Amino acid sequence: MLRGPFLDRSWMAQNPSYDSADIIMLGLPFDGTVSYRSGSRFAPEQIRLASWGLEEYSPVFDKELADVNFHDAGDLEFPLGNTYKTIEQIRLNVEDIYKDGKKVFGIGGEHLVTLPEIQAVSRYVDNLAIVHFDAHTDLREEYLGEEMSHSAVIRHCSKIVGAENIKQIGIRSGMKEEWEFMKKHNTLCHKFSDLDCLKCKNIFVTVDLDCLDTSIMPGTGTPEAGGMTFKELNDWFYYLKDFNIVGADVVELAPDYDSSGASTAVATKVIRELLMAM
């Protein structure tokens, strides 16, 4: 036997037991439908490595990661090039989590992974609403003839939870039609209180990291100028701590596009802070 000590290779401060954990972190390394640059398939593992550069303690929430009680389940393995089978596989695993009375915390991969998560959660959780952080509306009906696209994921989700139960934050890009959809359904939030109507809902928080400014998050598929600062995003998380969050994901880090590693470091802290809010 080796005396070690050895470096831990799971997410910092996770609960090694699935059974006793409340939140299940699930890596979803899929990037098959992205419209511009792919590479988010490498995010879950690089984020896991980078988590060891963080502290366990969050001064904003005055809490330690160990208080959150989450388990890092590892990364699903997908059939490359087959979007439909991948979606099905995510849906089934997320259903397993909710059957077991736990909550999912997905680590993308691309944004399409949110669709099977919502499909699964909606079967086990009533009164579901979605808080959506993103640069892009993701409200297309299809993209270049394909329904299953990361550009259409929130539109598809809106058919499950109802457009009135979608709130969007950070949006700054979309087609005119998408913008009209947002206006019609009043989905875009400008201030914290715009979220208050969701206070008695069960909320799934989905964070496309390109909601952050391109300067903070160059390592993403479709960088879009004019985004949020990290502090602004964290303030929204802090406000959400009084809501009933039943699941979450953080998607669209493409680590190879930022050779400085800063994008990965930021993504990792976004995850820590969102875990704190749950």
Binding residues among 241-270 for a copy of itself as defined by CB under 8 A: 256-263, 265-266, 269-270
Assign 3-class secondary structure to 147-212. CCCHHHHHHHHHHHHCHHHEEEECCCECCHHHHHHHHHHCCECCCHHHHHHHCCCEEEEEEEHHHE
* One residue of 11, 78, 98, 236 binding a copy of itself per CB under 8 A: 78
192 lies in the site for a copy of itself, by CB under 8 A? no
Give me the 160-179 binding string for a copy of itself, x by CB under 8 A, dash otherwise: ------------xxxxx--x
Closest to a copy of itself by CB, 203 vs 221, is 221
**Cβ at position 200, least distance to a copy of itself in Å:** 30
Could you tell me whether strands 244-251 and 202-208 are parallel, antiparallel, or unpaired per DSSP bridges? parallel
Closest to a copy of itself by CB, 88 vs 244, is 88
Are 204 and 246 in contact by the 8 Å Cβ rule? The answer is yes
* Stretch of 79-87, 123-131, 194-202, 238-246 lying at the interface with a copy of itself (CB under 8 A): 79-87
* One residue of 17, 126, 144, 190 binding a copy of itself per CB under 8 A: 144
* Stretch of 30-38, 157-165, 193-201, 236-244 lying at the interface with a copy of itself (CB under 8 A): 30-38
64 lies in the site for a copy of itself, by CB under 8 A? yes
24 lies in the site for a copy of itself, by CB under 8 A? yes
**Cβ at position 199, least distance to a copy of itself in Å:** 27
Closest to a copy of itself by CB, 53 vs 162, is 53
How far is it, in rounded angstroms, from Cα 222 to Cα 251? 12
Could you tell me whether strands 57-58 and 63-64 are parallel, antiparallel, or unpaired per DSSP bridges? antiparallel
DSSP tag of 225:
S
80 lies in the site for a copy of itself, by CB under 8 A? yes
How far is it, in rounded angstroms, from Cα 225 to Cα 34? 18
* Nearest C-alpha neighbor of 193 from the set 137, 227, 249, 236: 236
Could you tell me whether strands 128-133 and 103-108 are parallel, antiparallel, or unpaired per DSSP bridges? unpaired
Tokens 């715009």, located at residue = 194
How many residues contact a copy of itself, by CB under 8 A? 88
Calculate the dihedral angle through the C-alpha atoms of 159, 243, 186, 162, rounding to the nearest 10 degrees. 10
**Cβ at position 253, least distance to a copy of itself in Å:** 12
CA separation, residue 74 to residues 8, 27, 56, 130, 265 (Å): 13, 6, 20, 25, 19
**Cβ at position 269, least distance to a copy of itself in Å:** 4
* One residue of 17, 20, 77, 193 binding a copy of itself per CB under 8 A: 77
Which residues have a Cβ under 8 Å from the Cβ of 123 and sit 6 or more positions away? 95, 98
Closest to a copy of itself by CB, 7 vs 126, is 7
Give me the 43-62 binding string for a copy of itself, x by CB under 8 A, dash otherwise: --x---x---xxxxx-x---
Residue numbers 203-232 binding a copy of itself by CB under 8 A: 213-216, 218-219, 222-226, 229-231
Secondary structure element (H or E) that encloses residue 107, with its range: strand 103-108
